[in-house]
């Protein structure tokens, strides 16, 4: 099978190593964001992002299909993750949190060069479509123009006279046609065009359409391969048991019983962890539990209350790491007609993905290594193998992932499998974490504390807003753990994202951060800093509306300026769609929240009932999203629903408690989920406009918690300032 590979991307014109094309399987060519057209007319669109339920494989395929004139429902279209990682176009968007279109000059060039040299690709920050809106369309357009030129030669006509009809070109008179597969070899010899004409939005026939998910059939029938589904000849199975106390190390191990158990192949000591290899996963789990381990504990194990104490000390010392201070908040507060003060708290949270952490590594006798993993970064999986050392070549296969939410951007679920596989060369080893290991050795959403003050004038307008956010630096923890890099805390934009540059117009404000170091592993969690800061801001804005005697919608709208026209439109649409008539009372509550994250704006209204025993019934959520140009309305709707349910789960139940250096929660009995029976209906309305696309995987999560808290206040008059709501005695 011979094929034509087309690649393009933000790095295509940058003179750095690692961006050149290379040979692929079956005579195809692999490039940055690319398309493979085989001689049998099977067209494969390679998407360099893990499919973990967010619909990336479908959305990005639509961008290519739009320009290449493909019908994605046809049986000859495939979408998959490439087996080799490469420096993805999305990296600039993810790490600099800007649109590529807004970057030019030296910053753009050096940024591309740096990221290409790192060979780092990753899925996260709701950036796949945002970062590849132009690149994937360019890939389709380049392929179309090259194929059209080859078709014209084959049919002895002019390119502009040919008609494109899903994977073939026809003469205008219909007398002759030629398939993409037939001209693939010839097209591969044509120089890619430099003058690329993209279709105008008015001519879109694929972008904006509710195309069924490309991965649906494989998942429904069981053909789709998740990490735990990988099966290879002669494979062994393993698990890991890690030190339960953060910072503890293994002092002594008694493994005789474990080694004697049926099916056990090996027991390996690896630093502060024990790896058990067996002939199936269950036996590995049982043997790991049978290990008798004595640990050397840290001198002062971390405790949950340490964070609050450290924040208080640093706050009183004025140890601010970041700040935004337009105007004079202190004087404006002193002069305010009415002053509101509140302190809000959010807990550590786990990711709790339904598919537990796992990976499969095959370290062959010739030191070639293959990895199968549901990872958010194939590049980081490769780095794990490189850190173990001795591999002559490395190939990473990215499988479907049963949930990610930032958890699978880590290295730690690949390292133990790699070490076990190297110790047993020639035999593939699949290592799966138990749910307890997963829950107690997660990389947690940081806890946070917000000390908030606001001032109102005689007319109920905000004159001052002062916020001090205490938390841990996600970036500092992530970089040190995964890349052995230290991070300047003042560079961590995630700490104040969603509260710095908030949309509400307040002339005098101070937004400051106090970042506290911790031995608790902190990581990216769906919507990252927005998940904390949206709760703080939207709860406080609600408090201010009540203090001003204003309706929740009216107060918000009054504080949005001309530059927030999209925020205003979302709020006005939400008010109509939710049939807002004001707050409830006597056990019936309605709460609203508005938040922008990842270049999209989401507003939500939640309706609840609360009985005299503080039992909460979640009735309905109405949400409105403005995510710019919509690629696939079905995917957007599903992701907003998913994000809201994810946020409500955390708001209702989510908490990780740490005592004596250990996480108390072990499984879903102590880390509860919002079940279908208790979940509200979620009605999503999509705004349509011609703005550039925004993210959709994460923006639904931030407004969920404040909307619920505001609804509880509406129903009961009690203000929720500490999550989860069970802290105040509420239950579902």
* pLDDT (mean) for 674-693: 96
* pLDDT (mean) for 688-697: 95
What band does 190 get if pLDDT is binned at 50, 70 and 90? Answer: confident
d(CA 732, CA 722) in angstroms, rounded, equals 17
CA 541 to chain centre: 27
CATH placement of domain 304-348+443-728: 3.30.365.10
**113, 115, 136 from 118: Cα distances, Å:** 9, 5, 22
529-548 and 704-716 helices, crossing angle to 10°: 30
Residue 103 pLDDT = 46
* pLDDT (mean) for 76-96: 60
**Residue ranges, CATH 3.30.365.10, the chain:** 3-221, 227-298+357-432, 304-348+443-728
* pLDDT (mean) for 337-354: 98
The residue among 249, 348, 359 whose CA lies nearest residue 664 is 348
The residues, any chain, with a CB within 8 Å of residue 703's CB and separated by 6 or more, are 534, 538, 593, 594, 595, 602, 603, 604, 623, 644, 647
Residue 110 burial (C-beta neighbours within 10 Å; 0-12, 13-18, 19+): exposed
* pLDDT greater than 90 at residue 54: yes
Residue 99 pLDDT = 44
pLDDT in tens, 119-141: 566 788 888 888 889 888 988 98
Residue 90 pLDDT = 41
With contact defined as beta carbons under 8 Å apart, do 559 and 679 qualify? no
Q: What are phi and psi of 303, to 5 degrees?
A: -135, 155
Residue 8 pLDDT = 46
d(CA 684, CA 681) in angstroms, rounded, equals 10
* pLDDT (mean) for 589-605: 97
Instruction: Give this prediction's pTM.
Output: 0.93
**What angle (nearest 5°) sits at the alpha carbon of residue 331, between those of residues 326 and 335?**
125
The residue among 522, 440, 407 whose CA lies nearest residue 244 is 440
What band does 27 get if pLDDT is binned at 50, 70 and 90? Answer: low
Beta strands 393-398 and 429-432: pairing type?
Answer: unpaired
**Ranked by mean pLDDT, which of 11-15, 130-134, 376-380, 679-683 comes out on top?**
679-683
pLDDT in tens, 622-639: 999 999 999 999 999 999
Residue 584 pLDDT = 83
Beta strands 588-597 and 600-610: pairing type?
Answer: antiparallel
What band does 582 get if pLDDT is binned at 50, 70 and 90? Answer: confident
* pLDDT greater than 50 at residue 290: yes
CATH placement of domain 227-298+357-432: 3.30.365.10
**Ranked by mean pLDDT, which of 35-39, 60-64, 486-490 comes out on top?**
60-64
The more confident residue out of 112 and 368 is: 368
Residue 102 pLDDT = 46
With contact defined as beta carbons under 8 Å apart, do 624 and 636 qualify? no
Architecture of domain 3-221: 2-Layer Sandwich (3.30)
With contact defined as beta carbons under 8 Å apart, do 457 and 337 qualify? yes
d(CA 4, CA 8) in angstroms, rounded, equals 13
Residue 487 pLDDT = 58
Residue 120 pLDDT = 60
Question: How large a percentage of the chain has pLDDT more than 90?
Answer: 78
Residue 363 burial (C-beta neighbours within 10 Å; 0-12, 13-18, 19+): buried
The more confident residue out of 149 and 126 is: 149
Question: How large a percentage of the chain has pLDDT more than 70?
Answer: 89
pLDDT in tens, 207-247: 999 999 999 999 999 999 999 999 999 999 999 999 999 99
* pLDDT greater than 90 at residue 169: yes
* pLDDT greater than 80 at residue 53: yes
What band does 98 get if pLDDT is binned at 50, 70 and 90? Answer: very low
- The per-residue DSSP string of 481-510 comes to HHHS----GGG-GGGTTTTTT-SB--SEEE
* pLDDT greater than 80 at residue 363: yes
* pLDDT (mean) for 281-300: 97
| Lowest mean pLDDT across 107-116, 160-169, 375-384, 600-609 | 107-116
The residue among 453, 460, 504, 505 whose CA lies nearest residue 330 is 453
d(CA 76, CA 406) in angstroms, rounded, equals 33
Q: Within the chain, how many helices (H) and strands (E) appear?
A: 20, 29
| Lowest mean pLDDT across 485-489, 564-568, 693-697 | 485-489
pLDDT in tens, 240-289: 999 999 999 999 999 999 999 999 999 999 989 999 999 999 999 999 99
* pLDDT (mean) for 568-590: 94
With contact defined as beta carbons under 8 Å apart, do 476 and 483 qualify? no
The more confident residue out of 219 and 96 is: 219
What band does 726 get if pLDDT is binned at 50, 70 and 90? Answer: very high
Residue 483 pLDDT = 84
* pLDDT greater than 90 at residue 24: no
* pLDDT greater than 60 at residue 547: yes
Beta strands 168-171 and 616-626: pairing type?
Answer: unpaired
- Per 3-state DSSP, the chain is made up of helix, strand and coil in percentages (nearest 5) of 35, 25, 40
Mean pLDDT of the chain: 90
With contact defined as beta carbons under 8 Å apart, do 732 and 616 qualify? yes
With contact defined as beta carbons under 8 Å apart, do 66 and 161 qualify? no
d(CA 515, CA 628) in angstroms, rounded, equals 33
* pLDDT greater than 90 at residue 694: yes
> Strands of 448-456's sheet, edge to edge?
322-324, 508-515, 462-471, 448-456, 338-346
Query: Both ends of the chain: CA-CA distance in Å?
Result: 58
pLDDT in tens, 651-676: 999 999 999 999 999 999 999 999 99
* pLDDT (mean) for 181-196: 84
d(CA 19, CA 88) in angstroms, rounded, equals 10
* pLDDT greater than 90 at residue 21: no
The residues, any chain, with a CB within 8 Å of residue 318's CB and separated by 6 or more, are none
């Amino acid at each position: 099978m011979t094929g034509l590979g087309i690649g393009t991307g933000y790095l295509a014109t940058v003179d750095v190593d690692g961006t050149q094309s290379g040979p692929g399987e079956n005579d195809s060519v692999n490039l940055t964001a690319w398309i493979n057209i085989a001689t049998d007319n099977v067209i494969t669109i390679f998407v360099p992002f893990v499919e973990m339920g967010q619909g990336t494989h479908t959305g990005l395929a639509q961008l290519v299909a739009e320009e290449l004139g493909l019908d994605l429902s046809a049986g000859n279209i495939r979408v998959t993750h490439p087996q080799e990682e490469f420096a993805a176009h999305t990296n600039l968007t993810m790490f600099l949190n800007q649109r590529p279109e807004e970057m030019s000059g030296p910053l753009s060039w050096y940024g591309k060069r740096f990221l290409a040299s790192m060979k780092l690709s990753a899925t996260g920050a709701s950036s796949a479509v945002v970062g590849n809106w132009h690149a994937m369309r360019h890939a389709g357009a380049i392929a179309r123009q090259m194929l059209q030129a080859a078709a014209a030669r084959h049919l002895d006509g002019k390119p502009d006279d040919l008609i494109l009809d899903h994977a073939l070109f026809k003469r205008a008179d219909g007398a002759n046609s030629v398939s993409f597969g037939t001209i693939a070899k010839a097209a591969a010899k044509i120089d890619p065009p430099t003058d690329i004409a993209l279709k105008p939005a008015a001519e879109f026939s694929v972008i904006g359409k509710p195309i069924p998910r490309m991965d649906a059939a494989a998942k429904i029938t069981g053909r789709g391969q998740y990490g735990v589904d990988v099966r290879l000849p002669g494979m062994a199975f393993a698990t890991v048991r890690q030190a339960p106390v953060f910072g503890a190390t293994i002092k002594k191990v008694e493994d005789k019983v474990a080694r004697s158990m049926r099916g056990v192949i090996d027991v390996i000591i690896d630093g502060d962890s024990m790896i058990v290899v067996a002939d199936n996963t269950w036996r590995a789990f049982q043997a790991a539990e049978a290990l008798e381990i004595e640990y050397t504990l840290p001198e002062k194990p971390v405790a949950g209350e340490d964070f609050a104490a450290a924040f208080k000390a640093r706050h009183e010392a004025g140890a601010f790491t970041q700040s935004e201070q337009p105007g004079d908040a202190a004087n404006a507060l002193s002069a305010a007609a009415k002053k509101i003060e509140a302190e809000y708290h959010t807990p550590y949270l786990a990711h709790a993905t339904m598919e537990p952490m796992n990976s499969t590594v095959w370290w062959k006798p010739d030191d070639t290594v293959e990895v199968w993993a549901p990872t958010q970064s194939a590049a980081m999986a490769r780095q794990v193998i490189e850190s173990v050392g001795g591999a002559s070549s490395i190939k990473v296969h990215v499988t479907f992932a049963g949930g990610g939410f930032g958890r699978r951007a880590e290295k730690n679920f690949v390292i133990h499998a790699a070490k076990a596989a190297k110790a047993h060369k020639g035999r593939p080893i699949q290592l799966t974490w138990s749910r307890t290991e997963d829950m107690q050795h997660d990389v947690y959403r940081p806890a946070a504390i917000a000390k908030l003050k606001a001032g109102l004038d005689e007319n109920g307008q905000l004159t001052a807003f002062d916020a001090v956010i205490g938390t841990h630096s996600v970036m500092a923890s992530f970089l040190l753990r995964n890349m052995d890099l230290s991070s300047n805390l003042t560079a961590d934009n995630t700490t104040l994202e969603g509260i710095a540059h908030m949309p509400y117009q307040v002339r005098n404000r101070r937004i400051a951060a106090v970042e506290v170091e911790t031995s608790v592993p902190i990581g990216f969690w769906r919507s990252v800093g927005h998940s904390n800061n949206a709760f703080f801001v939207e709860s406080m804005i609600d408090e201010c509306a009540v203090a001003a005697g204003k309706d929740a919608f009216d107060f918000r709208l009054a504080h949005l300026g001309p530059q927030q026209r999209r925020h205003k439109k979302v709020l006005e649409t939400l008010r109509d769609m939710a049939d807002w008539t004001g707050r409830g009372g006597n056990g019936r509550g309605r709460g609203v929240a508005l938040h922008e994250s990842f270049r999209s704006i989401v507003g939500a209204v939640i309706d609840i009932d609360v009985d005299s025993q503080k039992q909460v019934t979640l009735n309905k959520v109405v949400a409105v999203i403005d995510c710019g140009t919509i690629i696939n309305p079905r995917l957007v709707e599903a992701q907003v629903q998913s994000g809201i349910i994810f946020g409500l789960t955390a708001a209702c139940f989510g908490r990780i408690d740490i005592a004596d250096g250990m996480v108390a929660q072990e499984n879903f009995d102590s880390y509860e989920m919002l079940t279908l029976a208790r979940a509200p209906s979620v009605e999503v309305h999509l705004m349509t406009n011609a703005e550039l696309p925004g993210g959709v995987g994460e923006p639904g999560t931030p407004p969920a918690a404040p909307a619920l808290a505001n609804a509880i206040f509406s129903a009961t008059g009690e203000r929720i300032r500490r999550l989860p709501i069970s802290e105040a005695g509420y239950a579902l």
